[in-house]
Structure 1
Amino acid sequence: MTRRATLVATAVSLLLILAIYFGSRLLRDFDSALLPYAVATVFLAFGVAYRYTVWISAPGARRLFTKGWGSLFSVENFRKAPTALPRMIATYLGLQKFLGARSHARWAAHQLIFWGCVLAAAITFPLTWGWFTFTSSTGAGPGYEMRIWGFKVLGYDSSSLIGWLLFHGLDIAAVLVIPGASYFLYRRMKDRGAMTGQRFAYDLVPLIALIVVSVTGLLLTFSSIFLHGGGYEFLALLHMVSVVFTLIYIPFGKFFHIVQRPAAVGMQLFKYTARQKDEVFHCRRCDTPIDTAPYVENLEATMRDLKLDFAEWAEYCPRCKRELRGNAYLSHVKKGFK
């Protein structure tokens, strides 16, 4: 598995290097000042591909991967429920409504981090790879052109609203990320439930890294506008180091769930299509609906693959499980103390 994961990760990294080379028009549009960022994205691709390959080698993850992505690309599912996939992508990946059931504050903070990071990635990665270029079309004047792979897609005035949004897109992303990450950092410092099982490297470092990246990015803008470039070189170096560290850290930290989430969307679609067919599994003891029959069968098969000898428990509802465990305790454990 290690050899296979290494080969897959190497192939993905080489494909990204080729995409950078040809996407930047044989490096003509590649900015050498952004080389450390580009190298970090190659390491990011290697780490994500490596860990993803290892992850789906486990029985449970392999079934999730197979069923999830199979449902995503199923022609039958699209024909029977053409709006289901876009709706789940919007609600499960975009709006993440399942978090609202836990806490509205957590949902809002998660949305700030999510959309801030999406905006930052949408701007940073293409620029780093040389796919996007912004060039002046009027010499020293305010006219600019945005080109993708060398093709002009937009002309704008730098003093217009569009120009301001394009030039300050990363600042907007930072303003979104800072309050969201700060909320979770504060919660992990104060909430006893969150403090109990947290780990510094796994839970706190990603939040600190996001805040450092965002703050140093805003300081770069502050330096260029209000300090006439004072301290800009030091801030640029600090920002680069923080961004490179964060990108390399993603495959090995908590943020890896970002890569795993699309497969979970496929599993939700898998369960949804089964409900449409009325394939609902009922509890063997009280006949309460548990979940879809294919989902329960998939769970039982995974438990058997893991050599867990209680796969049949998946066929009982949570209340019946608690009652059966209680009766077993009274019959076999407490009885021994008489």
Structure 2
Amino acid sequence: MAGEQQLPSVGNRGLDRRGVAWGLVGIAVTVGITFVGSDGLVWFDAALVGYLFGIIFMVFGVIYRYAVWVRRPPTAMLNRRGWDAFKQGKAKNAVALPSLVGTHLIAQGFIRRRSRARWLAHQFVFWGCILAFLVTFPLTMGLLHFESVGQQADEYQVYISRVGTISMDAESILAWTIFHALDIAAVLVLAGVFIFLRRRLRDPGALTVERSGDFLALAGLFAVSVTGLFLTVSSLFLEGRFYYFLNTVHALTVILGLMYIPFGKLFHIFQRPGNLGVAYYKRANEVGEQAACRRCGDEFASAQQIADLREVLPQVGFDYSVGTALDGTSGDEDNYQNTCPRCRRAQVTLAQSTRVKGFG
């Protein structure tokens, strides 16, 4: 229809032009921040150029995939409904936003309700990755560097681009924590990885739904963390032995890990904020008109949600239209989505019974 946004069709082949355009913008912004933030590359470490390549590739891949994902029919519908629900009570929803961010994105309470072990593992990996990104990205892009104060090199000052911030004694706890921030991140990630592995290897339910990509993500996190810790071990306890080799291996794991993010399971990190819109959508549906089951007449879901399902599913190749209503009204198209879960189970049972000419 005229004026409607054109969404990517299911099974569309080739690169999405809009996604490529936004990805190139992301690359330009990343390179620009690196050049300006490093004071014209003065504080850019050429030894980290491989890491910068990995970051640029990740930025392009994440933006490209997100641009395509957010325009898919189901995502586009949820995005639109989320904004509509937010605008219905803008002031009230704006006040509730910090709480939603805290519960859905930071505390991740929805995971804790499923399993405390899974929640703990997610928290370890989440905060470990956040800490690693906060250190790796600024260092790689030249936004963060350290300068000695005076001639004794026993005091350092932290610089964000050209701006000097805190000074610290090189032997202080603060300095040790900052200099070993990546080691702390690695320990947190490894703790989460081990909890995940224990669950996936021992929980029958987890084994049932196991996919190869799940172990690949854990293997990548493990490799990056362990090789990073080995660098510290080489520096502190082995007098630098094997450091060059370990540094090469670690750089390779980090670069490959960054390149994997847009295509693997870790991409859900960037999809997670969309849950905020879903939360607003669900709240609006709870107080809106409810849909009645076409078979038993009981209310079972929001009328808006069912209408959205009926609109979106045909766009992704699933049409559940069943022709006429159960009451025999001629010409009134009905839809299987208008059936409550209990009646769906009953219909499946009746269909199976008919198929085998009755049970017993």
Structure showing the higher helix proportion among its residues: 1
CA displacement, residues 190-237 of structure 1 (integer Å, 9 cap, x when unaligned): 44433344333x111110111111111111112211222222111111
SS of the counterpart of 1:53?
Answer: helix
Secondary structure of 2:261's counterpart equals: helix
Equivalent residue for 1:127, pick from 130, 136, 139: 139
Work out whether residues 175 and 214 of structure 1, in 8 Å CA contact, stay in contact via their aligned partners in 2.
yes
Bigger mean CA offset, 76-85 vs 9-18: 76-85
Letter in 2 for 1:132: L
Matched, 1:279 2:301: no
Aligned residue identity for 2:340: C
CA distance 1:316–1:160, shift in 2 (3 Å) = farther
Query: In the alignment, which residue of structure 2 is the partner of 1:229?
Result: 240
Match runs of 1:141-160 below 5 Å: 141-160=153-172
- Cα displacement (A) at 1:81: 2.8
Determine if contact 1:88/1:269 at 8 Å carries over to the other structure: no
1:314-338 deviations in whole A, cap 9, x for unaligned? Answer: 44432232123334444x5345999
Is the contact made by 2:291 and 2:306 (CA closer than 8 Å) also made in structure 1? no
Per mean C-alpha deviation after superposition, the further-off stretch among 186-195 and 249-258 is 186-195
Match of 1:116 among 128, 149, 157: 128
Question: How big is each residue's C-alpha offset from its partner over 1:231-255, in whole Å with a ceiling of 9 and x where there is no partner?
Answer: 2111111111110110001111111
- Counterpart mapping for 1:1-338 below 5 A: 2-4=15-17, 5-68=19-82, 70=83, 74=86, 77-200=89-212, 202-275=213-286, 278-279=287-288, 281-284=290-293, 285-290=296-301, 292-310=302-320, 312-330=335-353, 333-335=355-357
Identity of aligned residues (%): 38
User: Using the alignment, how far apart are the partners of 2:252 and 2:23 within structure 1?
Assistant: 24
Which of structures 1 and 2 has the bigger CA Rg? 2
Residues 134-160 of structure 1 show CA distances to partners (whole Å, capped at 9, x for unaligned) of 211223332211121211222222222
Cα pair 1:137 1:143 within 8 Å, conserved? yes
| Aligned counterparts of 1:234 and 1:76: Cα–Cα separation in 2 | 58
Q: Take 1:91 and 1:142, find their aligned partners in 2: how far apart are those partners?
A: 43
3-state secondary structure, aligned to 1:152: strand
Aligned equivalents of 2:346 and 2:38: distance in 1? 64
Letter in 2 for 1:182: F
**1:254-276 Cα distance to aligned partner (Å, 9 max, x none):** 1111111111222112222444x
What is the CA distance between 1:295 and its match in structure 2?
Answer: 3.2
Pair 168,267 (structure 1): closer, same or farther in 2 beyond 3 Å: same
Q: What TM-score comes out, normalization by structure 1 length? A: 0.88
Tell me the TM-score normalized by structure 2. Answer: 0.83
For structure 1, the residue ranges without an aligned partner over 5 or more in a row are: none
State the Cα distance separating 1:118 from its structure 2 match.
0.9
Deviations 1:18-71 (A, max 9, x none): 221122222122111211111100000111122222323421122233334x36
Residue aligned with 1:266, SS: helix
Cross-structure match for 2:11 = none
Q: Report the CA distance shift for 1:180/1:71 in structure 2 as closer, same or farther (over 3 A).
A: farther
Amino acid at match of 1:281: Q
Unmatched tracts of structure 2, length 5 or more = 1-7, 9-14, 322-334
SS at match of 1:28: coil
Q: Which SS does the other structure have where 2:94 is aligned?
A: coil
| Cα deviations by residue, 1:102-122 (Å, 9 ceiling, x for unpaired) | 211111111111111111111
Q: Distance in 2 between matches of 1:108 and 1:55?
A: 29
Distance 2:187 2:159 in 1: 26
Quick check: 2:231–2:247 contact (8 Å CA) kept in 1? yes
Range with greater deviation from structure 2 (237-246 or 308-317): 308-317
Deviation at 1:75?
Answer: 5.4
Instruction: Specify whether residues 113 and 234 from structure 1 end up closer, same or farther in structure 2 by C-alpha distance, changes over 3 A only.
Output: same
Distance 1:71 1:41, change over 3 A: farther
